[in-house]
Chains A and B, each alone.
Chain A
Amino acid sequence: MTRDRKAATLSPMAEPSAPGRSFDEEALPHLDTLYRVALRLTADPTQAEDLVQDTMLKAYRSWRQYRPGTNARGWLLTILRNTFINDYRRRKHEPVAMDLEAVEPHALYRSIQDTDPEGSFFSQIVDAKVLEAIDALPADFREVLALSDIEGMPYGEIAEALKIPVGTVKSRLFRARRQLQAVLYDHAVEAGYIKPRETAP
């Protein structure tokens, strides 16, 4: 179940002055990751394709700035993210964070623990709905969710790629998951996969 972390374990022996491994060898293996992250950032397949292509071309042109032996995936993701921020039109109605601050972290679990403790209602929700719910998260949230929970990247690598502290990665991730769970739960209730929670007395 756990994705093995394909953190770019490049040889630390790579000579810094040598051309090192080629762009093809270092960058192309990350195309799937770049595409998935681009899909979540843009929430639009056509834009995602353009974003990945732009990213790869930029990376190729600045390949000399890449230090062999460092993390190629993180390096590419930083370029992808900067390209997205600078060149791609943000959605007109960028989703905002739900106000979940007051809610106990496991409030949702409390309401299902007697009827569906394993959260099997999640498996009844169709893929399209899950993706739609992810894409309805605020950009900062879906970004960390994509990198951590979909790509399986460690916090440290995410922090480095996004240039934010590890603590910020964790708090965004935490809130992203809670918002996503709340949305999926509401959907499951609406679709009749699960009985609505009884309002606490």
Chain B
Amino acid sequence: MSRLDCDQALAHLQDYLKRELTPELVTEVRVHLEHCRDCTGYARFEESFLSMLETRAGQTTCPKELRARILAALRAETTGS
């Protein structure tokens, strides 16, 4: 297995963090990160950015009123037809 250099590892980083890589490539990226502090630092930064996005924007839920309104509209469809 050939070692990835920094450019190659970083090119895969986005997919690595999103768990979209093949198992072989995951291993190669992981091996690189274990040996490269610079890339590990960058990977951590990207990771904290991604988890920040999820916490900030991913917790919102559909308002109860909207849910009720939709259910009522669906019911009206059923009985109206």
A118 touches B48 (CB 8 A): yes
* Complex CA–CA separation, A150 to B40 (angstroms): 23
| A32-B61, A49-B63, A150-B57 known; A57+B73 contact, CB < 8 A | yes
Q: Which of A60, A109, A154 contacts B77 (CB 8 A)?
A: A60
Q: What is the distance, in angstroms, from B11's C-beta to the closest C-beta of chain A?
A: 9
CB of B60 closer than 8 Å to a CB of A: yes
Which residues of the other chain, B, contact A131 by a CB distance below 8 angstroms?
56-57
A130 touches B62 (CB 8 A): no
List B54-72 residues whose CB lies under 8 Å from chain A: 54, 56-58, 60-63, 66-67, 69-70
Size class of the contact patch on chain B: 20 to 34
Q: Which residue on B lies nearest to A2, using beta carbons?
A: B19
List A129-152 residues whose CB lies under 8 Å from chain B: 130-131, 134, 145-146, 148-152
A109 touches B42 (CB 8 A): yes
List A94-147 residues whose CB lies under 8 Å from chain B: 105-106, 109, 112-113, 117-120, 122-123, 127, 130-131, 134, 145-146
CB of A155 closer than 8 Å to a CB of B: yes
Q: What is the distance, in angstroms, from B1's C-beta to the closest C-beta of chain A?
A: 24
List B31-81 residues whose CB lies under 8 Å from chain A: 41-42, 44-46, 48-54, 56-58, 60-63, 66-67, 69-70, 73-74, 77
| A117-B41, A117-B45, A149-B50 known; A52+B14 contact, CB < 8 A | no
Known: A113-B45, A134-B57. 13 other contacts (CB 8 A): A1-B54, A31-B70, A36-B58, A36-B60, A49-B66, A105-B10, A109-B41, A112-B45, A119-B45, A119-B48, A123-B52, A150-B58, A152-B54
Q: A residues near B, CB below 8 A? A: 1-3, 23-24, 31-32, 34-36, 39-40, 49, 52-53, 56-57, 60-61, 105-106, 109, 112-113, 117-120, 122-123, 127, 130-131, 134, 145-146, 148-152, 154-155, 170, 173-174, 177, 181
Q: B residues near A, CB below 8 A? A: 10, 14-15, 18-20, 41-42, 44-46, 48-54, 56-58, 60-63, 66-67, 69-70, 73-74, 77
17 A-B residue pairings within 8 Å (CB atoms): A1-B54, A3-B54, A23-B74, A31-B62, A52-B66, A57-B74, A109-B45, A112-B45, A113-B45, A117-B41, A118-B44, A120-B48, A122-B49, A127-B56, A130-B53, A146-B57, A170-B15
